[in-house]
Structure 1
Amino acid sequence: MSKYFPLCFLGLSLLFNSCSNDDNIIPDNVLEEPVEQPAGATAEDYPAQNFMWQAMNIFYFWQQDVANLSDSKFTGPTDPAYIEFLASKENPASFFFEDLCNNHVDAVGEANAVDRFSAVVENYQDLLNSLQGISRSNGLEFNLYLNENGFNVYGVVTYIMPDSNASEQDISRGELFNGVDGQDLTVNNYVDLLFGENASYTLNMADIIDQSIVSNNKTVSLTKIENFSENPILVNKIIEQNGIKIGYLMYNGFLAAYDEDLNDVFGTFKSENIDELILDFRYNPGGRVSSAIQIASSVYGTNTDEVFIRPRFNDKLQSQFGVPDNFTDVTFDSETPLNTLELSRVYVITTDNSASASELVINGLEPYVDVVQVGTTTTGKNEFSNTFVDDPENSFLYDPDRIDQINPNNSWAIQPLLGRNENADGFSDYTTGLVPDHILGEDIENLGVLGDENEPLLQLTLSVISGSTAKFSPSQPFPADLLTHSKMFEPGKNNMFMDGLLKPL
């Protein structure tokens, strides 16, 4: 049998479309004792591990750097050494992070990590829902910060989703909390209290007094709604300033389900003949690449012969399948004609919560448009991924029309990093983030109202447009030590999804 048994055994033959589309639950990383392999075991006895290895051997960006994924590691699916390897860990998540990924952050820690974003989930439906903005949610989004003692944790509300449970409660952007159900939040308990199985909890609110986080007597009870859908278009409006019409769009996730709504927003901007455009990506962790191509095309133009991005895969796939993705003139799924502004300049608001597809829009537009970035440095997520499930006849690629072909004995899904996207100039090296032209961090003591002209980051952007930045004097921000944010606990966190780009023959 060929040493390249995954390709030969499965007969995998791939075709990449030139039109791309879609952008993780943090698992408990528990070291396990080796699992004793039962007599007569086969690869089918370890369906999750078996599917993970085969998909990773073909598609993983760092396949050649991981000894366990080497094409010559095993002779075939019946190789006793292969079956022993599959049986080495009972928990598929541990197997994925520790044995298949290239120094994954959940296995080796932030300081030694190479792979920071590959994901695995036990139920593929949770991941698929996340890609459409559907989750079990109370609609409250927030940042979490470390207190000055480095142990206690407090949260600051960043925004509230319309029509959610939180939207019906007495809570608003900029409010603080430091406890849940009467327990102080700490680095040891915040995950269980805020992101655990409990559908309902009560926040214990707090204030900033004399530069300290101090509890107050206010409580807010919240309930997570099953299958809640977030519309990523949080604010869109037109601001008139000194005779200049400025379109403002706060967009919080690249979700294909809302591509038509997004196109309608640009249709309004176009009909109003806006002069300038502000894209607010400050809380946007990423999403589908096709939606990023759409929004970039709506900004720059429907120039379908010009390269927006060039994907870079592993050495197995690059020469055959590294096909550039150009700008588009239609929405990806419904092929609705695209509304485009044909601007020569765009302003983008970012923070360290801005990741992957958000960064892709900035980097992809840079060769064509003057991108003026305002805020703080982005996450630095320049890799893309794809959803894989246990459907070997479809090259393990998730296809909504093949649900009944997925192995009923294995619901695990993986979202491994497949490569990096370069812009038309060949640039993709922004793992430390994209640095703003005009730097200003959010002040948790003065977050302001999103979309309001006096909100600090929007106010600074408007002053850049008007040329009056010399008159802009922000206050000294509260010294906040960011720990994480609520979107990091969704299955599709900080990812750039290419679902639909890869097509099996």
Structure 2
Amino acid sequence: MHLPHKLTLMVAAISLLLTGCGGSGSSIDTDDISGGNQLVYTPGQYLAESKLKDYCAIPRKGIDPFSNKAYPDKVGSALHEKLWLRSWSNRTYLWYRELSDLNPAGYNVVDYFHRLKTDGKTDSGASKDKFHFVQNTADYLQQTQSGVESGYGISWHLNQGVPPRKLTVAYTEPGSPAASAGISRGDEVRFVNGVDFVNDNTDEGLAKILAGLYPSSAGESHQIVMQKVAGNQMTYNVQSADVATTPVQNVSVINTDIGKVGYLVFNSHIAIAQPQLISAIEKFGTENISELVIDLRYNGGGLLALASQFGYMVAGNNIIQDRFFEKVQFNDKYPNTNPVTGAPLQPMPFYDTVIDYNQGRLTSQALPTLGLNRVFVLTSESTCSASEAFMNALRGVDVEVIQIGGQTCGKPYGFYPADNCGLTYFTVQFSGINAKGFGDYADGFIPVEYPVYAADVKGCAVEDDFKHNLGNTAEASLNTALYFAKHHSCPVVAASVSQQVDKTDSFAAVKETGTVEFKLKQPNLLLDNRISMPILPLE
């Protein structure tokens, strides 16, 4: 099959300023390559990362607003950046043995990075590495540290990317331009900037659609025509803005025949979710709930430490009993040492106190707990990474996880974001296992009423119901969870879920065999993040 032609809307990239330095193996230590005069690609030989990092074709100048320090960038070249990526990948990539030693000549920096990944497949034939991506560092830090992203505040669900296309609103952020305009869950896109979204099959049309659906900055105005759930069409003239993310939403207590059931939507494992989760758990504790339903359908992942804290808040000490949240494994160059931090490998615990994420430190403030030995988790193909680690970790300490919804994305892997020259790169560096030694779910967790295989999770397969708002007890996934809690079985009306939507490391229109295909933008917090960061003990 020929290579697809991509109409790229924007380049992606991220960073928590957790970069590896130094080389290993057959790396070369060159005294003076800052000007690029001695810089060459030699097959099989890898320059030390420390001799290449922060040498940039276009150095940033001034003070980094996130660190209040001067940018580390020095005058270099694109070859510096590409050879740094090559050395860094050879040292830290989980499947480094499956990388071809590709000559960087003829590629720009981002294209070269996209080729530094394995072509291997999972048991089902899917790509083993679906999670290789890059984004502008400043944009990522704005999203993860402040929870702000330019746009309308819409999370989309792509039902079909080729004509006749179908794109549905999964949810909107509270107070966002979309919510204020009246756009709501279940609305389907019909026209964007005058272009027929459903049927247009031209590069020009898709470029206009992408520009309208994914504005690159605040203050852009675009016209979107929506088919409402009620059947009528509405035209919206919406202006993009810097939208604040609310990762924890719809916190409620539902009175049922079997007692009080807590429900919350958790959409992103970012630092600002910590106080929101604590508040929700405290509310559930005060209300003395007997069951908990956690809606992770649109949670692509994020901070593992936060997933660990949430797991602790759900289960508590009496159930966890000093067992760990997750043990990470790097490539065979680092059997006992973390290649990024240099620290000895130790399992991540279930963190039981508040974390100061700005300083990366534990505090002395204890987290509230519910002491539950069973939890319901609502899932979809967008449930990924740290969300899957949360499920796997609870199963590892014998908390019964009941899965309602769709097969998860399948990412038992993670990475340390690495910033270089204003782009932050994500490449898979570790895999994770729970306290029982299980981590083999590369094809996702699958809800099955009568589990057979290790990645089968007891529960019910249910189509995402866009006709009802999240938290509405008539909404299919929540309704099924409540039914299962009472009857210990799936209702006969539970529907089979559709096939997973392939993920992509960019959002673009892709033209293959004459058909223009719309690819969905990566979920909030970009693509399926499973971010690890050092957490220092309380001093």
The TM tier, using the shorter chain, reads 0.7 to 0.9
Closer/same/farther in 2, CA of residues 491 and 478 from structure 1, 3 Å limit: closer
* Counterpart amino acid of residue 370 in structure 1: E
The C-alpha deviation readout for 1:438-497, integer Å capped at 9, x for no partner, is 3333355x5312112111111110011111757x45387998995778661656211211
* Counterpart amino acid of residue 158 in structure 1: A
1:238 is matched with which residue? 253
Q: Give matches, 1:291-330, under 5 Å.
A: 291-302=306-317, 303=320, 305-321=322-338, 322-330=345-353
Give unmatched runs, 5+ long, in structure 1.
Answer: 13-41, 70-84, 391-409
1:38 is matched with which residue? none
Residues 252 and 262 of structure 2 are in contact (CA less than 8 Å); yes or no, is this contact kept in structure 1?
yes
Q: Give matches, 1:94-493, under 5 Å.
A: 94-98=111-115, 100-103=116-119, 113-121=127-135, 123-132=136-145, 133-146=147-160, 150-185=162-197, 186=200, 189=206, 190-195=209-214, 197=216, 199-206=220-227, 217-226=233-242, 228-302=243-317, 303=320, 305-321=322-338, 322-333=345-356, 335=363, 336-368=365-397, 369-390=399-420, 410-436=421-447, 437-442=458-463, 447-467=467-487, 472=491, 474=493, 488=522, 492-493=526-527
Residues 48 and 87 of structure 2 are in contact (CA less than 8 Å); yes or no, is this contact kept in structure 1?
no
Closer/same/farther in 2, CA of residues 440 and 93 from structure 1, 3 Å limit: same
- Worse overlay, 381-390 or 486-495: 486-495
* Counterpart amino acid of residue 134 in structure 2: V
2:418 counterpart SS class: coil
TM-score of the superposition, structure 1-length normalised?
A: 0.75
Residues 461 and 494 of structure 2 are in contact (CA less than 8 Å); yes or no, is this contact kept in structure 1?
no
Q: What is the rounded CA distance, in whole Å, between the counterparts of 2:173 and 2:321 in structure 1?
A: 35
1:496 aligns with 2:508: no
- Worse overlay, 378-387 or 129-138: 129-138
1:54 aligns with 2:87: yes
* Counterpart amino acid of residue 463 in structure 1: Y
Aligned-residue offset at 1:2? 7.4
Q: What is the rounded CA distance, in whole Å, between the counterparts of 2:98 and 2:87 in structure 1?
A: 16
* Counterpart amino acid of residue 126 in structure 1: D
Residues 151 and 214 of structure 2 are in contact (CA less than 8 Å); yes or no, is this contact kept in structure 1?
no
Aligned-residue offset at 1:48? 2.1
Residues 146 and 481 of structure 1 are in contact (CA less than 8 Å); yes or no, is this contact kept in structure 2?
no
Give unmatched runs, 5+ long, in structure 2.
Answer: 1-23, 30-45, 52-74, 339-344, 357-361, 448-457, 504-518
- Worse overlay, 187-196 or 216-225: 187-196
Residues 285 and 487 of structure 1 are in contact (CA less than 8 Å); yes or no, is this contact kept in structure 2?
no
Moved over 4 A (4+): 6-12, 42-45, 475-487
Root-mean-square deviation (CA, aligned residues, Å) is 3.3
Residues 304 and 328 of structure 1 are in contact (CA less than 8 Å); yes or no, is this contact kept in structure 2?
no
Q: What is the rounded CA distance, in whole Å, between the counterparts of 2:522 and 2:493 in structure 1?
A: 29
* Counterpart amino acid of residue 5 in structure 1: I
Aligned-residue offset at 1:9? 4.5
* Counterpart amino acid of residue 492 in structure 1: L
Aligned-residue offset at 1:247? 1.1
* Counterpart amino acid of residue 419 in structure 2: V
2:227 counterpart SS class: strand
What is the count of residue pairs matched by the alignment? Answer: 423
TM-score of the superposition, structure 2-length normalised?
A: 0.71
1:454 counterpart SS class: coil
Aligned-residue offset at 1:348? 0.7
1:463 counterpart SS class: helix
Aligned-residue offset at 1:243? 5.0
Q: What is the rounded CA distance, in whole Å, between the counterparts of 1:2 and 1:480 in structure 2?
A: 42
- Worse overlay, 472-481 or 348-357: 472-481
Closer/same/farther in 2, CA of residues 235 and 120 from structure 1, 3 Å limit: same
The C-alpha deviation readout for 1:43-85, integer Å capped at 9, x for no partner, is 756332133223222221112222428xxxxxxxxxxxxxxx4
Residues 301 and 327 of structure 1 are in contact (CA less than 8 Å); yes or no, is this contact kept in structure 2?
no
The share of aligned pairs that are identical, in percent, is 26
Aligned-residue offset at 1:502? 11
2:26 is matched with which residue? 3
